[in-house]
A and B are shown apart, each in its own frame.
Chain A
Amino acid sequence: MDAMFLMNNLWIMIAFILVILMQGGFILLEAGSTRMKNAGHIAGKTIFTLGIASLVFWAVGYGLIYGESAGGFIGTSDFFFGDYQTMFDGVAGSVDFIFQLAFAAIALTIAFGGFAERAKLSVYILFAVLFSALVYPVVAHWIWGAGWIGELGKQDFAGSTVVHLTGAMGALAATLLLKPRIGKYNKDGSPNDLPGHNQVYTALGVLLLWVGWFGFNAGSTLEVDGAFFGYVGLTTQLGAAAGAVAALGVAWAVLGKADVPTMLNGALAGLVAITASTAFVASWAAVVIGLVAGVLVYYSMQFFEKLGIDDPIFALSVHGVAGIWGTISTGFFATPDLAAMNGGNAGLFYGGGFEQLGIQTVSVVVSGAFAFVASFIVLWVIKAIVGDLRVSEEEEITGLDMSEHGSYGYPEAALSESKEEVAPSISKDDYDPKPGVST
């Protein structure tokens, strides 16, 4: 067997494992950012929806994305994938399949960020099936399959739009339909802080995602020839680093405190933003893209909160806004050499004019709009089936660990206190978030 072929396949297999491991990052990130009464549920649902996403991707997802294209809009073949002979883009079809599967599962997990702490388990299950079959594959086909946006020369190397924006639009549709969590907003509309129960989990989640991102981005080279994956790794690292630094800096400058959750979101925003542009931009531009993402994520978090949109895991800001910025950024920063290597044209700052910028902007608007509308319809249909998307007020206060699964993620903590104490000291009518400060 050809050594290069073997190494390509081994590399993509490793990349697949890294991307699957990102689910562990999401478990820690989401559980740490929410309250302990929902921790077991969050961890558990991430694993079983990974199962659902995998089955759906095998049955229809892959075929809808990479099957024979019907007018550039959807794939129509290769359903129930089981091919061990076909070679595709220098890798075995099966290797390519599982690598792509991991991406589809990530998009779904991002969307679930908008469901956190209040959606019924049945809604998670139905949405996992429908989103994986009807929403993600369409956008992925348009851009990565033989779809119409890909044909325009759109640059989205590892999925700022395909994975992150699509997931974020699912989260937006969900959080709008589900409405804010109990206690998030006061009667006068002012927001309350509902801090996550474990900042260390959140930080470890971010670190795990950061590491996994090297599979996500560098693995998207799909080959080891020329070792271009090293350059992708470099820009990825710079984007994440700049995002963390910028977010911490802006929080410190504006709020007067070095806010840890904002900094962590900045690192993720840097990663999301560089995902599209990682193979197209110079290293200095990766730093700029990360810095802008870090600043954007801070203001975006404030913006959604002011708007009355409860975004528990900040999926809209981290994956949505940073995903949009990352996609558009290549329209400014793509270098002629890297564009020639990886597709599309040079960006505005390299004499490419507005062409690539236009393609990036249009594609992000169209893809985002489709993902939002489709997710909204899917959720509306689910609502018609299950009655209500949201658990009852009592169940939400008790926690989804108990209401949806019958056991707590932290049973000792739950048993040592009364039921009232396990539930938050917040109700719709009576909320006193700050104890008095004494001189």
Chain B
Amino acid sequence: MSSSLDNGEKELRSYENIRQKYEKYLLEAAGDYRKQNVIHEKVITEAVQLAIEHTREEWGTPPSPFAFFVMGSAGRNEQALWSDQDHGIVFQGSDRHEQDYFLTLGIKIEGVMSRLGYPRCEGKVMASSPRWCHGINEWIEQVDRWIKDDKWSTLRHLLTLMDARVVIGSEDLLKKVKKHAFIKGKQSIYLLKRLAENAKMFQPGTNLFGQLIYERTGQFTGAIPIKNAVLFPYVHALKLLSFKRSIYETETIERMRLLSNDYSFLAHKRKLFIDMLELRSSFSKQQHSYQDVHYVPISQLSKGERKRVKEAVKEGKELLHHAKSTLWSNEEKRGR
């Protein structure tokens, strides 16, 4: 009993050590969001491999080939210093025979990542949840069901899946699921419209006078909600366009590069988006929790930075508008 407690403590301490080690690297990379994402990727990979080992020890080897994928900001390689968990599993085989095993693996992954400082997803978008852990056929059936149900929540799930990126395992498994969704999109303008309705910008970045809107109350008083007000319009716009054009790439800037020939309005947006990611990343040293990374204190922005943020908000709003209006048009090059 005592020995198992000791082992548990040791295990916990070792996780803390890993987090501390990587946090140091993450902070050193402040301002370089790409480097921060490379570090996150290493941590997540290590965490998942650790969870696979633990599961293998208790339940034996995985019953079939599988792929572990991340979604949300991790899927898009746009994580800040802190990031929550958004992940899933797709396996070769069926839910009836293999889901229990992979759900157990998902629970292990959730636990390890949580100890490593990645808060659990409030919406339960995690491989430990049956919705996000399926065999290939059940995944395809679920996508069909999401589209058929045609609810705000099910279409939200579909959009979340569009940012899925494999970290460990075969990319082909996930590609098959996405391909199925893309085909459905090509068959239905209605689906595209519904997805566009789902991707709404909830927080305006600037007010009627062109000033940046900042938080008036709460712990983020005086800060701008950079994630919701500045970055999200770009993310959602590119997610929608990529869905229409069957782009498997998940990074927003890569999506922009791949689509720039088809959509003239994407010109110059890439640089602005990168600029905003770097701006947020430069505040890493002041970010102490997952909530912190969504805000940037306006008082600490230089005049030039404020101007750039305003421009990014304006361009982002236009981008989302263009993306939506182009979504169900066959003349993407119109307006070049």
Contacts and interface: CB of A to CB of B under 8 A. Distances in A.
A384 interface: no
B3 interface: no
Interface in B267-311: 290-291, 294
A437 interface: yes
Interface string A254-294: 11110000000000000000000000000000000000000
B222 interface: yes
A436 B291 CA distance: 5
Interface in A169-184: none
A436 B213 contact: no
A90 interface: no
Nearest to A431: B219
A438 B122 contact: yes
Contacts of B208: 252-254
Interface string B186-211: 00000000000000000110111101
Nearest to B290: A436
A48 to B, nearest CB: 33
Contact of B122 (A186, A191, A256, A436): A436
A433 B219 contact: yes
Interface string A399-439: 00000000000000000000000000000000111111111
B117 to A, nearest CB: 14
Nearest to B74: A439
A254 B294 CA distance: 21
Interface in B187-244: 203-204, 206-209, 211, 213, 216-222, 227-228
Contact of A191 (B72, B211, B217): B217
B93 interface: no
Contacts of A437: 227-228, 294
A193 B217 contact: yes
Nearest to B84: A438
Contacts of A439: 72-73, 86, 160, 227
Contact of A434 (B204, B209, B216, B218): B218
Contacts of A255: 207, 213, 216
A302 interface: yes
Contact of A190 (B125, B207, B217, B294): B217
A242 to B, nearest CB: 19
> Which of B72, B84, B203, B216 has its CB near the most chain A CB atoms (within 10 A)?
B216
B335 interface: no
A392 interface: no
B204 A433 contact: no
A192 interface: yes
B84 A253 contact: no
Interface of A: 186, 190-193, 252-257, 302, 305, 431-439
A433 B207 contact: no
Nearest to B82: A436
Nearest to A257: B204
B219 A254 contact: no
B203 A256 contact: yes
B218 A190 contact: yes
Contacts of B207: 253-256
Given A305-B217, A434-B220, 12 more contacts: A186-B219, A190-B218, A190-B221, A191-B217, A192-B217, A252-B208, A253-B209, A433-B218, A435-B122, A438-B121, A439-B72, A439-B227
Given A190-B222, A253-B209, A254-B207, A438 B216 contact: no
A121 to B, nearest CB: 29
Interface in B18-42: none
> Which of B84, B119, B160, B218 has its CB near the most chain A CB atoms (within 10 A)?
B218
A249 B10 CA distance: 59
B213 A256 contact: yes
Contacts of B72: 438-439
Given A438-B72, A439-B86, A432 B216 contact: no
B119 A191 contact: no
Nearest to A184: B217
Contacts of A186: 219, 221
A298 to B, nearest CB: 11
Interface string B114-138: 0000010111010000000000000
B84 A192 contact: no
A431 B220 CA distance: 12
B201 to A, nearest CB: 11
A93 B25 CA distance: 83
23 contacts: A186-B219, A190-B218, A190-B221, A191-B217, A192-B217, A192-B218, A253-B208, A254-B213, A255-B207, A255-B216, A257-B204, A432-B219, A433-B218, A434-B291, A436-B84, A436-B119, A436-B290, A436-B291, A437-B228, A438-B72, A438-B121, A438-B123, A439-B72
